[in-house]
Amino acid sequence: MIFRRDRFGLGQKDAPPAPGASAGLPRFAVDATDDIGDAAQGMHARSPARARLALADALSASQPVTSRERLAGRIDTLAALIAAIEQQRAHVVLYGERGIGKTSLVHVFAETAREARYLVLYGSCGVEARFDDMFRTFASEIPLLYHADISPTADETEHNRSFADLLDEQPVDPRELADLFQKIVGTRVILVLDEYDRVADPAFRRDVAELIKNLSDRAARVQLVLTGVASNLDELIGFTPSIRRNIVGLAVGPMSEPELSEILARAEDATGLTFGPDARNLIVKMSAGSPYLVRLLGNRAAGRTLDERRDQVSGPDVIAGTEAVLAEWNAGLPRRVQSQLARPEVRGAWPMLIAAARASGTPDGWFGLHDVAAEANGADTSTIRRTLDGFTGEIDLFDREDGLDGREPRYRFRTQGLAQLLGLSAALARAGR
Ligand SMILES: Nc1ncnc2c1ncn2[C@@H]1O[C@H](COP(=O)(O)OP(=O)(O)OP(=O)(O)O)[C@@H](O)[C@H]1O
Ligand SMILES: [Mg+2]
């Protein structure tokens, strides 16, 4: 990549704010209507403000990737997903850890399927999701012109109608819906149910399983793609033998180091900044397979680089940026937890807490003594038990649930975000060595 020193107007100062009463108050750097495009190619990229905006765009950790050009790696998973849909005509469940890239993958898959003339409908599930609402909405987005009984030369009125117009007032029933979807001709429909793990209503899950079974039995031209946080297929859809053979489960695992590096390379192209070898290595190592962390740490480090009007992100930028992230995460914890973390008995048990943090990477966060032992090389389970039990009383970092019939208890961090903080602080400590 070629870098021009003048890209950010290095050495020049931004224009001073116009005088006036509110001059000291912060403003947005760039208009929302501005299209920054690919900053590296545009003349617009000269100002630091624009480089910053390009950075926010290229390395935002809060938004999924939505286009093919932005997706790094994941070639095998995307290929497996396409094959499951196209060749196996199966329904697909994508599962993996929080923030590992399920939504991004499914958006890019949707774009790819639309190019092949599939009708892809996307729905994000919430805690409150109801089967009736969700599938009525889907049906309303399928034009009635795809109905076997409607002639393609039908008059104008038919053009504006959808499959939802054929549903009655009663709550949508999965069998009735499958009958309706069986009538689809002239296209294939993919219904994406993202964040499926969040659905709280067991009836919703039961109805979705029933729908999958009925669609498969009828060989309807509708396929479901479900995504959610889980470590295996059963966790997400429950053990339902009747639909098992109609479903392909695909794990979305940690990204490889070259794939993570690719995320940074794309950000370099978009911003004109470069990540030095040290910086790149630190970010990739500390992120441990998580594209979310690459973006978060990369963004912070690059932000500091821009602040200092430099063009190459260095190792110290990464360390300082990561420390800032940790400080923010810490500040986001309840006061009580912050002060507990500072206590000497907690500090003394730090390595054990970090092992517990690693063991807690399960979807529901519960873990057992053996899970911690596997992460804490050498520690025996009775020591681990004593330590963890010590933090379920006055210092209450963990919830404990006693096992039945003399089985081991299980534990869970009481405070959301604490395990993530411990994990990153351990990664930073390792990187600093
Ligand atoms: N292949 C990728 N290339 C570049 N960035 C990625 C990739 N996959 C994920 N990301 C980034 O990582 C972050 C998390 O991704 P995403 O939201 O897709 O994960 P998720 O598994 O759906 O998370 P959640 O479990 O919270 O729903 C986002 O900032 C996204 O832009
Ligand atoms: Mg998601």
Which of 67, 260, 292 has most ligand 1 atoms within 8 Å of CB, for mutation? 292
Interior angle at CA 62, CA 61 and CA 64, nearest 5: 90
Over residues 374-381, the mean pLDDT reads: 87
Three-state DSSP state, 271: helix
Confidence of residue 74 (pLDDT cuts 50, 70, 90): very high
Distance CA 114, CA 366 (A): 39
C-alpha 60 – ligand 1 centre gap (Å):
10
Residue 363 in contact with ligand 1 by CB distance below 6 A: no
Pocket test for ligand 1, best of 103, 231, 250, 416 (most atoms within 8 A of CB): 103
β-strand partners of 413: 398
User: Which residue ranges form the domains of the chain, and what is each CATH number?
Assistant: 5-12+30-65+256-331 (no CATH), 74-251 (3.40.50.300), 335-432 (1.10.10.10)
The residues, any chain, with a CB within 8 Å of residue 217's CB and separated by 6 or more, are 178
Distance CA 178, CA 184 (A): 10
Nearest atom, ligand 1, residue 98 CA: 25
The answer to whether the CB of 261 is under 6 A from ligand 1 is no
Ligand found nearest the CA of 291: 1
Contact 90, 226 (CB under 8 A): no
CB of residue 251 inside a 6 A radius of ligand 1: no
How much is the pLDDT for 21?
A: 55
Mutate to test the pocket of ligand 1, among 104, 252, 269, 362 (most ligand atoms within 8 A of CB): 104
Calculate how far, in angstroms, residue 229's C-alpha sits from the geometric centre of ligand 2.
8
How remote is the CA of residue 395 from the centroid of ligand 1, in Å? 34
Confidence at 349, pLDDT banded by 50, 70, 90: very high
Cβ atoms of 280 and 264 closer than 8 Å: yes
* Cβ partners under 8 Å of residue 13, min gap 6: none
Q: For residue 73, which ligand has an atom nearest its CA?
A: 1
Lookup: tokens for 366: 């519960």
Q: What is the pLDDT of residue 22?
A: 64
Query: Which listed ligand is nearest to 105 at the C-alpha?
Result: 1
Higher pLDDT residue, 138 or 244?
138
Reduce the DSSP state of residue 195 to 3 states and report it.
Answer: coil
Long-range contacts of 380-383 (CB under 8 A, 24+ apart): 381/408
pLDDT bin (cut points 50, 70, 90) of residue 387 is very high
Q: What percent of the chain has pLDDT over 90?
A: 64
> Which atom of ligand 1 is found nearest the CA of 195?
27
First-to-final CA distance of the chain: 31
Tokens of 418: 């604490």
pLDDT in tens, 303-345: 999 999 999 999 999 999 999 999 999 999 999 999 999 999 9
Confidence at residue 407, expressed as pLDDT on a 0 to 100 scale: 87
Q: pLDDT class for 14, splitting at 50, 70, 90?
A: very low
Looking up tokens 């053009």 gives 159
Ligand 1 atom 17, closest CA = 64
The CA-based angle 37-42-47, given to 5 degrees, is 100
Verify whether ligand 1 is closer than 6 Å to residue 296 (CB atom): no
CB distance 133 to 193 below 8 Å: no
Q: Residues 11, 15, 20, 22: what is their CA dihedral angle, to the nearest 10 degrees?
A: -70
* 291 pocket-lining for ligand 1 (C-beta < 6 Å): yes
- State the Cα–Cα distance between residues 348 and 342, nearest whole angstrom: 10
Spatial separation of the C-alpha atoms in residues 286 and 264, rounded to whole Å: 14
State pLDDT tens for residues 145-161: 899 888 777 676 667 88
The contacts of residue 85 (CB under 8 Å, 6+ apart) are 92, 113, 190, 223, 225
> Residue 123 is inside which H or E element, if any?
strand 119-124
Interacting residues of 100 by C-beta distance below 8 A, sequence separation 6+: 252, 253, 254, 255, 289, 290, 291, 292
Compute the distance between CA of residue 137 and CA of residue 129 in angstroms, rounded to an integer: 12
Spatial CB neighbours of 395, under 8 Å, sequence gap ≥ 6? 340, 343, 345, 346
Q: Is 64 in the pocket of ligand 1 (CB under 6 A)?
A: yes
Residue 38 has pLDDT above 50, yes or no: no
If DSSP codes are grouped into helix, strand and coil, which group holds residue 31?
Answer: coil
Distance from the CA of 101 to the center of ligand 2, in angstroms?
7
pLDDT tens-digit series, residues 411-430: 999 998 899 999 999 999 98
